[in-house]
Amino acid sequence: MPSAFSIAAGLTLIIFLAGWLVGGASLADCIGYWGDGFWVLLEFGMQMCLMLVAGYLLASSPLVKRLLDLLTSLFHTPRNAIAGLAVLSMALSWINWALGIVGGAVLARLFARKVPQLDLRLIVAVAYLGLGCTWHAGLSASAPLLVATPGHFLQGQIGLIPTELTIFHPFNLLLTVAVLISLTVLVRQLARWTPLSPEQALAQRAGLGGDRSAKPSPPVGGKRPSLASVLDRGYWLNGLLGACGLAWVVTTWLDNQLQVTFNSINFLLLFLGIALHPNPDSVGRSAKEAVTFVHGIILQFPFYAGMFGIIKGTGLSAILGNAFVSIASARTLPLLVYWYSGIVNYFVPSGGSKWAIEAPYLVAAAENLGVPINQVVLAYAWGDMATNLLHPFWALPLITATGLEFREILGYGIVVFCFYFSLVSLALWFFL
């Protein structure tokens, strides 16, 4: 696969040509629409950056790591262990996708050490399930949270769609539970079918090496604590800030004014993460680690916003929307959106920025066919994460932590994808 930025740059040129040749706009008009739309996703991009950093802070806190260590100790047999890992991976990602990435890497190493009879490739594939099966149906889901957040780029067209119609819709919740249960049963069987010999288990365990996630705290110099050390190494600042942030969440909730939006989720995760770290120095070091994953959002989001400007300004949204209408009906549109979103995700593995490209014409198709917009958002969300199981982009922290290559877990990913894709397709056809 080309780099993410190469794909963004190539897609920009394709959208330019489509706006010129299909949309009928001049090249100068396309450049104007592109530049005008370039900063449309600026607020959304910052929200996504904070989502990743806040989730990373939470996942890297000592308390969460100890909790994950304790949970892995509850499973002793290989089949129960892999089932437990599946539930934990999908549950963590449902809470927050960044928590799923970091927590999945931690869990993979813990399970590989404690249950050496399990194939490490299966462990890593199962730890990746949350990013491929539940995150975009959960509390950090990009598209559902975006359309529920005041000021989003499509608000003038579709208004605000509350999370009660997307994340907390009965269809979404029941499908999430069905996916969690069925995939847990599936991977439990996979563990039964792929046992390791004692020699393979010993070699696998030796190959893991030390705990790469451990970060020693810098020593405190001098016998008398300085003002800097009192501020940087003490818990009191973290405790006060965390208490203030959590108090705001509680009081707002008690006043019935708390809405589930990007901002409220980020606020909760950020101050919970701060409260769970032992000192400001620990928060700063974890945030620095998290920022290494943010560069793609910062660099690519403006280019996807520029594509959105061309698609909307040249009329491509109406043309592509009519194309969907010509091959779909009110019943089949959600299913087609699910398939289409999964295909595009393989080339643009970012649920938020990809929504900016697809939303204008998917919304147009839904309006023409009389399909509720929340159904399109749900179908988009489930399709967007499906092909993550076949793509290495979000698996990099996992395979780095365990020393594997993505091709080594792809076989398991294909098996899970085939089952999962069929299950969700049937659910969208019969129940949405």
d(CA 327, CA 302): 32
Give the pLDDT of residue 394: 75
Q: What percent of the chain has pLDDT over 90?
A: 37
The larger pLDDT score, comparing residue 99 to residue 251, is at 251
In a domain, 8, yes or no: no
| pLDDT above 70 for 212 | no
pLDDT surpassing 80 at residue 199? no
Residues 234-262: what's their mean pLDDT? 88
For residue 258, how many other CB atoms are within 10 A of its CB? 16
Does residue 324 belong to any structural domain of this protein? yes
- Give me the pLDDT at residue 200, please: 58
pLDDT of residue 205 exceeding 70, the answer is no
Alpha-carbon distance of 81 to 113, in angstroms, equals 12
Helix (H) / strand (E) containing 291: helix 280-291
What is the per-residue pLDDT for 50?
A: 87
Residue 132 has pLDDT above 70, yes or no: yes
**Residue 424 pLDDT level (bands cut at 50, 70, 90):** very high
Does residue 264 lie within any of the structural domains? no
Is 283 inside a domain boundary? no
Across residues 10-21, what is the average pLDDT? 89
Instruction: Report percent pLDDT > 70 for the chain.
Output: 91
Q: Where is average pLDDT lowest: 96-105, 163-172, 193-202, 352-361?
A: 193-202
How far is C-alpha 319 from the geometric centre of its chain's CA atoms?
30
Residue 198 is predicted with a pLDDT of 57
Confidence band for 214, pLDDT divided at 50, 70 and 90: very low
What gap in Å lies between CA 201 and CA 117, rounded to an integer? 6
Residue 216's pLDDT is 47
| More confident: 203 or 283 | 283
Cα(215)–Cα(218) distance, integer angstroms: 9
* Banded model confidence at residue 2, pLDDT cuts 50, 70, 90: low
Classify residue 282: in a domain, yes or no: no
Q: How far is the C-alpha of 295 from the C-alpha of 7, rounded, in Å?
A: 15
Instruction: Pull the structure tokens for residue 340.
Output: 């289409």
Backbone angles phi, psi at 25, to 5 degrees: -85, 155
The amino acid present at 253, given as its one-letter code, is: W
Structural domain contains residue 95: yes
Whether 414 shows a pLDDT value over 80: the answer reads yes
Question: Which segment of 95-99, 216-220, 228-232, 297-301 scores lowest on mean pLDDT?
Answer: 216-220
Identify the domain containing residue 401 by its residue range. 24-208+290-431
Mean pLDDT of 57-79: 87
Q: Check whether 203 has a pLDDT greater than 90.
A: no
Number of domains in the chain: 1
Which of the residue ranges 203-217, 298-312, 355-369 would you say has the lowest mean pLDDT? 203-217
Can you tell me the distance from the alpha carbon of 172 to that of 139, in angstroms, rounded to the nearest whole number? 12
Give SS3 for 138: coil
- In this structure, is residue 115 part of a structural domain? yes
Give the pLDDT band of residue 240 (cuts 50, 70, 90).
Answer: very high
Q: What is the mean pLDDT of the chain?
A: 85
Residue 232: CB atoms within 10 A of its CB come to 17
* Assigned domain for 170 exists: yes
Q: Decide: 330 and 374 in contact? Cβ < 8 Å.
A: no
* Confidence band for 175, pLDDT divided at 50, 70 and 90: very high
First and final CA of the chain: distance in angstroms?
34
Mean pLDDT of 75-104: 89
